[in-house]
Structure 1
């Protein structure tokens, strides 16, 4: 017993008698405290739990909805992007442009989509002819790029992220208004019922609304350590602005011409949730 104790003592006194620091294999030991320095704590937490490689599946079903899953191009030409001036002005500081092909300069730069309204809506004008074509509901999972120059933060504000974006068209504003709130409630459920993150539903101010839209609603989370809010997901009523720009009109039941009412809404994976389902399908 004495020999065993001696060996144990010797093993503890190697390297100048100091115990070797060994990081916990659980990855739960953090050197920073959330209350003292939230930014450093957050960065360390992301590294420790390997959140960047997390592939949690979040399933939120809404079987009553019907829609088509689609995929549209990554690149958009300047002529199309700039067709909706209010929209492009809102995103201008964040739009990333491709200017070279190999070593050759492109005659016309190509934008990488910051969102997909100006890519999708030229097709709406071709697909919608009469009231029987409405409502039109599309869902897309894709990567978008918003070139943040200051303080990009993993899972909160990053330059490239995967998201789900919905694009819909209706015959009346009442239908569009109803869907805006339905989608907002769906997003609240995702955060509160699946991620256990409390959020507040509300309407954005005129200065904060989606560029080119009529009004914007969102779910917002709160970070008590910093006193700041975080926008979780958005549901926009676009009104008829994009319909006028892209000529999206239909023949109504009386035989007259009318412009559609449109919505767009999005939920992105900077949150820990990587996948969820909509319209009864898993992604």
Structure 2
């Protein structure tokens, strides 16, 4: 293996970028601001996608697909929406190229200008609501519960693999309802789905809350979010769910005939998570030796590494490994037997440590003779020799994977607890933000002006107003004006 990773404590950003590349998750592409997701990274995304898709379908949603291109006029129909995305839009102006006069290059054909420019999808509310106008006529057509797996483009100037790229992968749910209360219930339900996924599969504790007006999605009445804490003390928005009210229904004239025979605008929601979750997974758990993957999302949950000096030894080890693999697969545990003869066991150990494989089983001639195995845990970097005369290998591995999943979550939860600080004064606020980091729980007077000033002075933003916020009279940490409850501030990605 190549030299070790940079240390998190010395340069967290460099550590992250190097780990993403060295663990074969992704790399920068030839296209500025875009990334190539490599097979190992994409296999993690596929596991995320499969689980989320299952959860969406269990809550009654169906998948569909809508165009990548959005007519410019569509974005103009919802004023706050276009204002929110205008600076990030990629625009298609022509539909044809032609060969230059010297025949050495291709140029844009000036005669092939589009009558109306097309926006490369930054998000799909406008094109989807223009479609919903044709799908919805009556209360019988509601609720309409649709999800789309797609790519989007937001022209970012400063990019970082997974966390912020010009093009990224995501899902976006778009639903329409007959009643305001039903749309709000949908928004909250999908927030719960995201929180459950983050905690039970990503092993990443999150705080559910509502965004301030400054941080609200462009075109929404309310934005709900889940916020996670990374190991450098910065927050990361891990998912959002938006109550759109009737804003898009009015912009695209989406009405339905009620049971009583009236005509009303429908109520809408949208919600999404993206490949940003891959960045969260890396930053929430990994260490100076490489990835630490929660077993439920690890592409390889167990790797078996043979230790041998002859073909005869490898033959005996392979037979035993096949027994193990059959037992693991019967329990739906993903396993790899790495019998490459091009690399030594030590190289393989380091490789799977870097790639975050939860369990590694070393199997040599002495293990065959004694009916034992050496099992190494990635989360604790500890090893144990297991006597297979006393313990079934499949039972042991299943138990260890469950322990690792729980342990990774606990470690992240404890870190967040240690890095959540209540403050009462502006001096305390500044000191915690600068020296300790993490979530700062503080009173705020509720104004955008104060939020902007705090951001200007400290680079900290309101991550959310927690859903479980306790009513508590106090005074704004900056202005001293009255406040009825604490909100969470942090520096963020």
What TM-score comes out, normalization by structure 1 length?
Answer: 0.83
Q: Distance in 2 between matches of 1:248 and 1:114?
A: 22
Q: CA deviation at 1:126?
A: 1.1
- Where does residue 38 of structure 1 map in the other structure? 12
Greater Rg by CA: 2
Q: Which of 153-162 and 111-120 deviates more?
A: 153-162
Residue 111 (structure 1) aligned with residue 112 (structure 2): no
Residue 254 (structure 1) aligned with residue 233 (structure 2): no
- Structure 1 alignment gaps of length 5 or more: 1-21, 277-283
Among 135, 154, 158, the residue aligned to 2:143:
135
Q: Do 1:158 and 1:270's aligned partners in 2 also have CA atoms closer than 8 Å?
A: no
- Where does residue 71 of structure 2 map in the other structure? 77
Q: Do 1:216 and 1:235's aligned partners in 2 also have CA atoms closer than 8 Å?
A: yes
Q: Do 2:74 and 2:127's aligned partners in 1 also have CA atoms closer than 8 Å?
A: yes
Q: Distance in 2 between matches of 1:67 and 1:40?
A: 40
Q: Do 1:78 and 1:111's aligned partners in 2 also have CA atoms closer than 8 Å?
A: yes
Q: CA deviation at 1:99?
A: 2.5
Q: Distance in 2 between matches of 1:123 and 1:23?
A: 52
- Where does residue 61 of structure 2 map in the other structure? 67
- Where does residue 98 of structure 1 map in the other structure? 92
Q: Distance in 2 between matches of 1:160 and 1:79?
A: 22
* Larger helix fraction of residues: 2
Residue 242 (structure 1) aligned with residue 251 (structure 2): no
Q: Distance in 2 between matches of 1:270 and 1:67?
A: 23
Residue 23 (structure 1) aligned with residue 2 (structure 2): yes
Q: Distance in 1 between matches of 2:211 and 2:192?
A: 16
- Where does residue 229 of structure 2 map in the other structure? 222
Per-residue CA deviations over 1:192-234 (Å, capped at 9, x if unaligned) read 1111122111100001111011110111111241x32111111
- Where does residue 81 of structure 2 map in the other structure? 87
Q: Distance in 1 between matches of 2:14 and 2:117?
A: 38
Aligned-pair Cα RMSD in Å: 1.6
Q: Which has the higher contact order (CA 8 A, sep 6+)?
A: 1
Q: Distance in 2 between matches of 1:271 and 1:244?
A: 33
- Where does residue 212 of structure 1 map in the other structure? 219
Task: Describe the SS at the equivalent of 2:63.
Answer: strand
Q: Distance in 1 between matches of 2:66 and 2:235?
A: 32
Among 130, 137, 141, the residue aligned to 1:122:
130
- Where does residue 376 of structure 2 map in the other structure? none
Task: Describe the SS at the equivalent of 1:271.
Answer: helix
- Where does residue 265 of structure 1 map in the other structure? 271
Task: Describe the SS at the equivalent of 2:118.
Answer: strand
Q: Distance in 2 between matches of 1:92 and 1:265?
A: 20
Q: CA deviation at 1:165?
A: 0.6
Task: Describe the SS at the equivalent of 2:273.
Answer: strand
Task: Describe the SS at the equivalent of 2:227.
Answer: strand
- Where does residue 4 of structure 1 map in the other structure? none
Q: CA deviation at 1:23?
A: 2.1
Q: CA deviation at 1:176?
A: 0.8
Per-residue CA deviations over 1:135-194 (Å, capped at 9, x if unaligned) read 0011111110001012x1111111111111100000111111111111001101111111
